[in-house]
Amino acid sequence: MIEKTLIKITILVLIFSLFLEISYKNILNYLIFLGIVYLSAAFYLLYKMSVKVDLNDDFLYIRNFFRSRQIKYKNIDEIFTNSGFLQRRFGLMSIYIITRSGNYLIKDIPDSERIFKEIEEKIRESKPQE
């Protein structure tokens, strides 16, 4: 997860840097810019690493620095995954959870394939048999 985010940020910095006129006069400003970009990236990475998914018998807990959400399995209408090129390269995926009260996105969590299958199984167990 960390490598993927750093690669994306570095690609964006390189593209942005192509349009700058970097000379010995303004190299200090460019270095300050790089410091701000990568410091912001470090905070973003800390946030991404703080996302935790806990599977309970009746609930799915999604926690991070700022808030935690509790979703009952029986309230989940749909769940699916998606992964982009870099996510596939690093073995990650995003899990989308759709309920009547809102939509939730869990991005780039480790072992997301296993978590997705466990959530699907718990949803099947919580729904009444027809």
What does the alpha-carbon distance between residue 104 and residue 95 come to, in Å, rounded to a whole number? 8
What does the alpha-carbon distance between residue 17 and residue 12 come to, in Å, rounded to a whole number? 8
pLDDT in tens, the chain (130 residues): 788 889 999 999 999 999 888 888 889 999 999 999 999 999 988 888 888 888 988 889 999 888 889 999 989 999 999 988 888 888 888 999 999 988 999 888 778 888 899 999 998 888 776 5
Domain 52-126 has CATH 2.30.29.30: yes
Which pLDDT belongs to residue 38? 95
Which pLDDT belongs to residue 130? 56
What does the alpha-carbon distance between residue 53 and residue 42 come to, in Å, rounded to a whole number? 21
Q: Burial, 112: exposed, middle or buried (Cβ in 10 Å; 0-12, 13-18, 19+)? A: buried
What does the alpha-carbon distance between residue 49 and residue 42 come to, in Å, rounded to a whole number? 10
Residue that the structure tokens 């700022």 belong to:
66
Domain spans in the chain, listed from the N-terminal domain onward:
2-48, 52-126
Name the pTM for this structure.
Answer: 0.75
- The answer to whether 90 and 1 are in contact (CB under 8 A) is yes
Which pLDDT belongs to residue 129? 66
Q: Single out the residue of 63, 14, 65, 71 nearest to residue 37, CA to CA.
A: 14
The residue count of the chain comes to 130
